[in-house]
Chains A and B, each alone.
Chain A
Amino acid sequence: MAVEPVLRMKGISKSYYGTKVLDSVNLSIMPGEVHGIVGENGAGKSTLMNILFGMNVIHSTGGFEGSIEIAGQPVQIKSPLQAMALGIGMVHQEFMLLPNYSVTENIKLNREVLKPNLASRIFGPRLQSLDYDKMYADARKALKRLNIDIDEYATIAGLPVGYMQFTEIARELDKEHLRILVFDEPTAVLAESEAAHLLEAIKEIAAAGIAVLFITHRLNEIMEVCDNITVLRDGRHVVTKASKDTNVIELAELMVGRSMEFAGRKQHYSHKGRPILEIKQLTVDMPGERVRGVDLTAYEGEILGIGGLAGQGKIGIANGIMGLFPAAGDVKVAGTPLPLNNPSASIAAGLAFVSEDRRGVGLLLNSSIEVNIASGAMFGKKEFIKTWGPFSQVDQAAVRENAQKLIGELDIRCTGPRQLVRQLSGGNQQKVCIARALTMNPKILLVSEPTRGIDVGAKQLVLDTLRRLNEELGMTIVVTSSELAELRSICSRIAIITDGRVAGILKPDDSDVNFGLLMAGQPISKGA
């Protein structure tokens, strides 16, 4: 029996200000199918999905060409509201949550359960009261479908990013008549265990007959859940393959358009310098990532890795040191005690931080790439500023030069340093965040999840850049990551955090068994 595709996009083209970012892309997906879309940062994945969801950015920049059919019917999708009415749901690459609302209010955003009252009978339905009891019940149901234990009464602000992500997904699931669900890099902010959880949920959603479009840079995930995979490169449709007919290496090559070398990097161990960052009994009150007494020392000139499972507290360490969450304990930078709970003191002490929560936050979206890259050093350290007696002026030439250098090093895909950050793809925005931290030329660079949301090709570039900073400038780097392979490829030592404490410190070439044991909270016999 010939089932009709629930969605067919034909010959989709889109230009932004004269630059073609999508060029006659075709896509078709069956009910209950999980369809992966892969491509480098800036390949046009989010743009394609924004077209499907009728986002305003598309229509305010001249619309698009091509046609869309839902269940065989040609449709014009001019607004998100229309897309929702057609049964399309989307988990956007950047968060679409209201921070002061509870989880429930976000899940039911603009779909609140209403009950009539006297005023609404007189003045119309917009004055109906919210039925909070029913809303909480619905939210609980949607969260239950995801098998996740989030308090539906909790306020979004202050929740760990993983929880925010699941809240967004629950919101989409709660929509009735959902036929197509788009995930734009849902796992980019999730730790591995959370991501695995999400993949399970995706499979169940598809089993219920909903078509799922899944965008991610983690090719293993694509291989695991997708039935078919579409590869985009520079806005063009390269190929659509059944996932059983391909493999990760082939996908990566198709994405980048050249063959990739996946040779493991050779390890290097830097000598132990003097202790530069001494952490004693650090506790951090970060919801979902509590640190309960960490002792850890980083030596000058090394790359120290911090790994561990999600929720065990590894993310909290850097956040606590930078004063972003309430912290207590003893932290010394180069022998000088660091006042805690004071972000500017941390900056002044020569620390710079690339947060794990980077999706759009902290960037001045309406400023140029070069200004963003320089902004940290400009505000924090008064660099890039020329002074003429009492007057000061931004040193444009230096700002430009620095931006150009980093754009090359990190392969930021843009039209030039003057382009607005708002116009960059999500992954390229993240590279700008990294570039900004590097520009601050810190004594110690704290990086959390450096390669999240960054495509395979650029991943290597980011890791290489970190390594080069370390080797050439002797910068001490503390990398927090949930990808063990990544830590093992660049770090000299890796601390594994379990239950808010250091379970042990391993060398990158220690056996997988030892890593596994520490993460599971088991002691290992041989001291590291």
Chain B
Amino acid sequence: MQSRPMTTSETMLQGRMASARSFLVRNMVTIMFLVLSAVGYKLSGMTPFLFLMDIVARLSRNAFLVLALIIPVMAGMGLNFSIVLGAMAAQAIVIFVTHWGFAGLPGILLSMALVTPLAAILGYLTGSLFNRTKGQEMIAGLILGYFAQGIYELVFLQLVGGIIPMDNSTIIMSSGVGVRTTIDLTNGLKYGLDWPGQYWGNDLLLRPTLPWAIIGMAVALAVGIVIYQLRVDKRQRLGSTQLVLAGIGLAWACWWSVQQIQARTQINWIRVPLLTWLVIAGACVGLHFFSRTKLGQDMRSVGQDRHVAAVAGIDVNRVRIAAIILSMVMAAWGHIIFLQNIGTFSTYGSHEQVGLYSAAALLIGGATVARATIGHALLGTLLFHTLFIVAPAAGRQLFGDAQIGEYFRVFVAYGIIGITLAMHAWKQILQRRSVDQ
């Protein structure tokens, strides 16, 4: 009886320790990948120059596609593997735009304009299908991808050049029917967005060097944070710890960049595709804005509980279809960005991995099937592709065989999706059981 009563602050401390532990558990995947990437980088023996050059390219190539997955997660539909359809639509349009001879930025803009209605229709159909398979959207999306692959192959192997006339020897196979297996975008859409200056012979326009780009981004971020702090409600403002950390991070990035510029290191040779990054940044701002609109709020409501949302009078099916349409259009645009950066693509294969790789990137960033943010998407893209870059080199260093690193990378990509889905199912069972008790 005489023992000292536990004070509230002690209970709070215990609570805080518990929450620190749950933070680690929740972000286990991300932390694991941070470690893996760091170790892989060390082992690979890569120079910062090579690494940075590659990561800049890969980030600008893939980030938009990963962002396309966020909205369906918001609407409670899990990872939208059906974005493969959006990628196929993008390839179809790119083939035609290339055939018509459009190039550069105008070609890109035309492709995006043309693919939008096509992707919207595909999104509508996919969304309608998902409404009949509620709760099974992920698997339905995967199957749908395989099904669409069949139709796509039929059209481009059998119909184009035959029923659909296309007289173009660089695109159509020598038999006169069917599209070639690889399409080269050089002198066409290649770098249309990354480097629009190439066509009017201007090297510098919209292609800043990496250090300058970093300084620019840091300044833009700092301004953004200030505006956010001023405009947003008191309770949503960033805390002082977060502000200090952000300040230190940004200052360090600027300092590092200035050093690179002064020392004239190789890093200054890396060019950043400014327009592409602006498009990605625009997508991030747009998504943030969208989540605070009526439609965005409806999606989050439907995502939490379809039944409650319906009783509140929200047209659940319509909201879900809207989510898939938006995701599909974003995916199509994202894939166009991807293709123009690569500059050549395999007609019957380039879209295949889009769903799985984007999903893996998102999950690695710390997202779950039920919650995904812009931060998850960007961080995940960075980590996933870091591994892509360093794994083969690390494999060569360790085992004398780059292929082993390659295997490891593929293994990790699929493994991570499998594990995350299993963990999600497991967590649901656990949650249900703890409520039971």
Tell me the A residues contacting B by CB distance below 8 Å. Answer: 55-56, 79-81, 84, 92, 96-101, 105, 109-110, 112, 114, 117, 119-120, 125-130, 132-133, 153, 280-281, 283, 285, 292-293, 295, 322, 324, 326-329, 341, 343-344, 346-347, 353, 361-362, 364, 375-376, 379-380, 436
Contact = CB atoms under 8 A, between A and B. Distances in A.
A305 B6 CA distance: 24
A377 to B, nearest CB: 11
B297 interface: yes
B343 to A, nearest CB: 33
Interface in B274-332: 289-290, 292-295, 297-298, 300-301, 304-305, 308-314
A79 B5 contact: no
A329 B304 contact: no
A362 B294 CA distance: 32
Given A80-B310, A112-B294, 15 more contacts: A80-B312, A98-B305, A100-B300, A109-B312, A114-B294, A126-B294, A133-B233, A280-B3, A283-B6, A292-B8, A293-B5, A329-B6, A346-B437, A362-B437, A436-B436
Contacts of A100: 300, 304
B228 to A, nearest CB: 14
Contacts of B290: 127
B284 to A, nearest CB: 15
B433 interface: yes
Contact of B436 (A101, A119, A379): A379
B113 interface: no
B292 to A, nearest CB: 6
Contact of B293 (A127, A153, A364): A127
B26 to A, nearest CB: 15
Interface string B1-41: 10111101011101100100000000000000000000000
B263 interface: no
Nearest to B433: A379
B244 interface: no
Contacts of B294: 112, 114, 125-130
Interface in B312-364: 312-314
Interface in B412-437: 432-437
B264 interface: no
Given A96-B312, A285-B11, A362 B293 contact: no
A56 B305 CA distance: 15
22 contacts: A81-B313, A96-B312, A99-B304, A101-B304, A105-B297, A109-B301, A109-B309, A109-B312, A117-B293, A120-B293, A126-B293, A128-B293, A281-B5, A292-B5, A293-B5, A324-B437, A326-B14, A328-B6, A343-B434, A353-B437, A362-B432, A362-B437
A344 B434 CA distance: 8
Prevailing SS type, chain B contact patch:
helix
A328 B6 CA distance: 7
Contacts of A328: 6, 10-11, 14
B238 to A, nearest CB: 17
Contacts of B233: 132-133
A380 B312 contact: no
Contact of A96 (B10, B293, B308): B308
Contacts of B304: 98-101
B308 A347 contact: no
A133 B235 CA distance: 12
Contacts of A127: 290, 293-295
Contacts of B297: 105, 112, 130
Contact of B313 (A84, A92, A101): A84
Contacts of A84: 313
B136 to A, nearest CB: 15
Contacts of A346: 437
Contacts of A130: 292-294, 297
Contacts of B3: 280-281
A379 B432 CA distance: 12
Most chain A CB inside 10 Å of its own CB: which residue of B1, B235, B301, B309: B301
B312 A110 contact: yes
Nearest to B314: A110
A104 to B, nearest CB: 11
